Amino acid sequence: MTVGITSTLQFIAGNSAQYMKPGPNGQSQQAAAAAAAAAASSTVPDTNNNEMEDDRTVSDKDIDSYLKHYNRWQQSAWGRTLSDLVKRYLGYEFEDEVKWNNVFMIGIFHVIAVWSFLHYVWQATPITYLWGFFVGGCAGFGVTGGVHRLWCHRSYKAKLPLRIILMCCYSIAGQNTIYDWVRDHRIHHKYSETNGDPHNANRGFLYAHVGWLMLRKHPECIKKGRLIDMSDIVSDPVVQFHHKNFVLMKLLFCFILPTFIPWYFFGETFLMSFFSQCFVRYVLSLNFTWLVNSAAHLYGNHPYDKRINPAENRAVSVVAMGEGWHNYHHVFPWDYKAAELGNYSVNVTTFWLDVFAKIGWAYDLKEPSKDLVRRTIEKYGDGTHITARIGHMEEVPAPADS
């Protein structure tokens, strides 16, 4: 493990040095890239604080290229055959082309997870359950504190050791590459609940939860994806390392190590370790993340903006480590807490970010002003904010001096 960490640091350090090599005009490549990105985005302000701009357009050539690829995919013989069988025998015709590989893999993992829990995993030792809880928490922190609040929204800055920890934790979650996750999430915020949204909740709970992973993206979504500025992600050596070693990182951190440790160190049987970590823990972790896209967009109140679908959902916040305060998050996506109220018990991610801030690994933590939040509640909220029960926020008494 020490050798692996050392090689990781050497790779990242080498890539960081590479980005500082002088360019043709004496600038570093990093500085040149930053200047180019700034020039490209100088005409339109970044209203969502996600470095996403609207001033770029998709050329006809780009669209033609995409449609050609899309039509070629539609003509896949085995994919067309499966779709025809579903239409013939089940009477259902899909609006978008089905990614049958994803359907089979996601379906198999869920079936085995349910079978494993009912017939096997419930007999596991308490320490194996605690291990699964710990691994799931690390995976959740990698998603919420890492790929979401750091890399997607830049709601705070992180020093290299924390970025490496977040990369490893995100690898435990076993999801897409950091690049793909960030791109899709920035599109989601920019074009929420439209055909440009990868998991448009207006298409129903199942689609927003997992169906979007099983179907070909809507053409509008891919077009909008071309408008997203990803230069900050491409220039991050930690993200580059993850992208280059994506398969290895996923296998090692999501499946191999979580299975090996309870078997080798805790005396658990290999099969129990395998089924509990590779299926039950993994599938639960996936669904906890997906609930933010589905349940938190369909169920709950809207104290900050009643005009949008994302809602405050306490249950989702509990299982998703603080990501269920979604009405607030979509109004203030740059807040590192992703919530205004509540304590650490319903926002575990914020607790750990505050811990890392104490030791200086997380810094420049962003938050909206209390006055901005107050004015937003009064202008756009649905009246369910806690302050609505006792009058306007300026009427709330200040805390008594201790």
pLDDT at residue 176, rounded to an integer: 93
Q: Residues 142-145: contacts with CB within 8 Å, 24+ apart?
A: 142/166, 142/167, 142/168, 142/169, 142/170, 142/171, 142/172, 142/173, 143/170, 143/173, 143/175, 143/289, 144/320, 144/321, 144/322, 144/323, 144/338, 144/349, 145/169, 145/349, 145/352, 145/353
For position 333, what pLDDT does the model report?
96
Given a cut of 70, the residues of the chain with pLDDT beneath it are 1-80, 82-83, 86-96, 388-402
First to last CA, the chain: 50
Do 365 and 292 touch, CB atoms closer than 8 A?
Answer: no
* pLDDT for 40: 38
Q: Which tens digits make up the pLDDT trace of 255-264?
A: 999 999 999 9
The DSSP-derived string for 228-290 is: B--HHHHT-HHHHHHHHTHHHHHIIIIIIHHHHHHHHHS---HHHHHHIIIIIIHHHHHHHHH
Q: What's the token pair of residue 372?
A: 């901005």
The single-letter DSSP state of residue 157 is: E
Give the pLDDT of residue 307. Answer: 95
Q: How far apart are CA 128 and CA 278, in angstroms?
A: 13
The span from the CA of 310 to the CA of 298, in Å, is 7
pLDDT for position 343: 78
Contacts of residue 87, Cβ cutoff 8 Å, sequence gap at least 6: 93
Q: What count of Cα atoms within 13 Å lies in the side-chain half-sphere of residue 251?
A: 4
Distance CA 322, CA 348 (A): 6
The pLDDT value recorded for residue 355 is: 97
pLDDT digits (tens, 9 = 90+) for 142-176: 999 999 999 999 999 999 999 999 999 999 999 99
